[in-house]
Amino acid sequence: MPTVLTHRIAHVRQDWTHKTTTDLTRQLAIIGIENLNVKGIMATV
């Protein structure tokens, strides 16, 4: 049963990501993606 639940959760997350990014690309002309170095940011705080 846990495998089925894990698969279901993964599918729901993937579906949400796909729907959200599709909606954003239809509404906006430009989308920027940034890769943040969280460890580096936390080290300077």
Rounded-to-integer distance, Cα 45 and Cα 38, Å: 11
pLDDT digits (tens, 9 = 90+) for 15-42: 999 999 899 889 988 878 888 888 888 8
Q: Where are the alpha helices (DSSP H) in 1-45?
A: 2-27, 38-44
CB-count burial class (<10 Å; 0-12, 13-18, 19+) for 36: exposed
Contact 31, 25 (CB under 8 A): yes
Domain extent at residue 30: 2-44
- Band (1; pLDDT cuts 50, 70, 90): low
What total of structural domains would you count in the chain? 1
